[in-house]
Amino acid sequence: MEVQVNTSIEILAPASVIWDILIDFDRYPEWNHLFVSVKGTPQLGATLTVQMSRNMRFRPKVIQLRQKNELTWEGKLGLGCFFRGKHSFRIEPTANGCLFTHTERFTGLVAVVFPRGRYRRRLTENFERFNQALKDRAEQAAQ
């Protein structure tokens, strides 16, 4: 079973500006409320420590990294058959700036019930708030 949450927003800023903000984990507390903190280095194969709330912390591995284009990390419980989450950020140039796409794909046994109903709506809303905060910060930096 697979469940996916997809959000996107157009940002009127160059990919390099958006990317620099996205991978500057130390400054996340200044602008985003989705991730309390992200520790580690955004490089392929690195393990990050991601804290989403006081009680929700996990250690995903960076599985995709394309400079100024894509950052994807994957976290799992146990061997991954119980729960696996793949979190992805993509930046694609457009005529006016960039399209920023923010997704999460859940697989495993818990994915059957975990991201449904109220939780899925709340997660989508949180992704959209993250996207808007990134847009505001990037557009301001681009001026």
Mean of all residue pLDDT scores within the chain: 90
Task: For residues 133 and 127, give the distance between their C-alpha atoms in angstroms, rounded to a whole number.
Answer: 10
Q: What is the pLDDT of residues 88-133, one digit of tens each?
A: 999 999 999 999 999 999 888 766 665 567 778 888 999 999 999 9
Residue 79 has pLDDT above 80, yes or no: no
| 117 CB burial (10 A radius; 0-12, 13-18, 19+) | exposed
Distance CA 104, CA 86 (A): 5
At the top level of CATH, which class does the domain 2-23+62-142 belong to?
alpha beta
- Per-residue pLDDT tens digits for 35-78: 989 999 999 999 999 998 878 888 999 999 999 999 999 998 76
In the prediction, which pLDDT does 113 show? Answer: 63
**What is the C-alpha to C-alpha distance for residues 8 and 102, in angstroms, rounded to an integer?**
6
Query: Hey, what's the torsion of the CAs at 15, 17, 23, 24, to 10 degrees?
Result: 180
pLDDT at 117: 73
Q: What is the DSSP letter of 69?
A: T
Question: What is the helix (H) or strand (E) element at residue 94, kind and residue range?
Answer: none
The overall pTM is greater than 0.85: yes
